Structure 1
Amino acid sequence: MSGCCGPAPENPDRHNPARDVIDPERYRSIFNASFSRSITRRYEKKGLRPVEQRIVDFLAGAGLEGASVLEIGGGAGEIQLELLARGAARSENLELSDSYEADAARLIRRAGMAGRVSRRLGVDLAGTPDAVEPADVVVLHRVVCCYPDYAALLGAAAGHARRAIVFSYPPRNLASRAFVGAGNLMMRVGGRSFRGYMHDPAAMIDVVRSRGLEPAYEWNGWAWRISGAVRTA
């Protein structure tokens, strides 16, 4: 799902995740082949975006040599390829949209990483956590804001992280609320079921901490924030 556009529900604090069904088509309609091509072409020409580079740098600082990587909603997998280049041994990508697969295969071949990357479609980690093996580091870039139940998703992700977890999300301020609220309205008018969510950052950190990881990194940008945590128990 890499590339969450960040629209928010009108009242995210009163949102009931139980009303949502995690339907892959909801994500496929937004994160389609055209979206994938735009992301991968930009990466091939210019490399990682600054936010993505900060994610890679944090995990490299936490220790990547021989590490396994699990990325939830990693899109075409550009972050994983950079982590492998920085010393990780292997990566696994969970994706609900199948629109990234052709571009991901091309990037893997280009990077010479065939055999070190596995990709799984249709796996909802929050719904079926036992279907996925733990990994040393877990990444959720622009994903939590696309998922209704942040506690279930982050709880499952943190529970799978043996060393560290890092995730990004939009800031929760007036400007972003106005922007993403308009985005949700456009989705509704266009007949699309996709919605985005602006979850409470402190509450998300509490979920990660409850799984034995302590905050170790925070970065605040105008469009995205990053939180990283390392395992202490």
Structure 2
Amino acid sequence: MTCCKCQGVETWFNQKFVERELKKYRKKGPGKPTRILLEAIQATTGVKGSSLLDIGGGVGAIQSELFKSGLSHATGVEGSSAYLAAAKKEAERQGYLDEINFIQGDFVEMEKEIPAADIVTLDKVICCYPDMQTLVGLSSERAGKIYGVIYPVDTWWTKLGARIQHFIFKMRDNPFRVYIHPPQTIDAFIRKSGLNRKFYRKLILWQVAVYQR
């Protein structure tokens, strides 16, 4: 990652924040948008024996849940050291640690080192990245079968929320930012990689989409 992005991610997704997320996952399982994404992936393709590239996977919810459905191996790329440590801890607890290759850094800057996979997921990641075109373009090319994404709806309330967050980040001298990218543009860049949308669900704050090659 560039210094600015790396500092922002490390500051916002710190140890305290991540510990709350891990505790919540262990108690309640994946949140609603993630559950919808997982169900859509499982309904679209057979997970058994497949590989996964999980970009910005947080505490590793997608990795852990798909291993329960027969995933063979996974690569987890994460910019936050706290999230990466939590994902490793959870993978060890669930018995999948040896089947996951954890990489810390910016996927875009490291993309030549990242292997392709049958399934590629970005759960609430596109909204954390300023250069959406490059992130979506490079990551969707890595998807052999399935590309699953969760990103914010493009509405006045999400834009207002982003502006409020930006003000808070600025007051705290944190370079981290949230981006509300146009859904039509995101969809166009995904389709440009030869993928077709097979599932779509719009929630109050998030939209969930699964594409198939």
Which category of TM-score, normalised to the shorter sequence, fits these structures?
over 0.9
Aligned residues: 211
Which residue does 2:177 correspond to in 1? 195
Match of 1:168 in 2: 150
Structure 1: distance between partners of 2:198 and 2:142: 18
Distance across 1 between alignment mates of 2:72 and 2:94:
14
CA drift at 1:160: 0.3
Normalised by the size of structure 1, how large is the TM-score?
0.87
Alignment match, 2:14: 32
Letter in 2 for 1:67: S
Counterpart amino acid of residue 136 in structure 1: D
Higher relative contact order (CA 8 A, sep 6+): 1
Contact 2:84 / 2:104 at 8 angstroms: preserved in 1? no
- Cα distance in 1 for partners of 2:109, 2:4 equals 9
Deviation track 1:67-86 (CA, whole Å, cap 9, x = no partner) reads: 00001111121111101111
Partner secondary structure for residue 167 of structure 2: helix
Q: In the alignment, is the contact (CA less than 8 A) between 1:72 and 1:93 conserved in 2?
A: yes
The alpha-carbon deviation at position 22 of structure 1 amounts to 5.8
Check if 1:93 corresponds to 2:70: no
Alignment of 1:128-143 (within 5 A): 128-143=110-125
Indicate the RMSD between aligned Cα atoms, in angstroms.
1.4
Find out whether 1:208 has 2:190 as its counterpart: yes
Percent identity between matched residues is: 26
Shift of 1:105: 2.7
User: Is this contact kept in 2: 1:25–1:97, CA < 8 A?
Assistant: no
**If the length of structure 2 is used for normalisation, what is the TM-score?**
0.95
Aligned to 2:103: 120
Q: Does the Cα contact within 8 Å between 1:75 and 1:100 map onto a contact in 2?
A: yes
Could you tell me how far apart the structure 1 residues matched to 2:193 and 2:32 are? 28
| 3-state DSSP of counterpart to 1:183 | helix
Structure 1 216/197 Cα, relative in aligned 2: closer, same or farther at 3 Å? same
Over 3 Å counting, the alpha-carbon distance change for 1:215 and 1:115 in structure 2 is same
Distance 1:213 1:27, change over 3 A: same
Q: Which residue identity does 2:22 align to in structure 1? A: T
| Structure 1 residue matching 2:108: 3-state secondary structure | coil
Q: Which ranges of 4 or more aligned residues in structure 1 deviate by more than 4 Å?
A: none
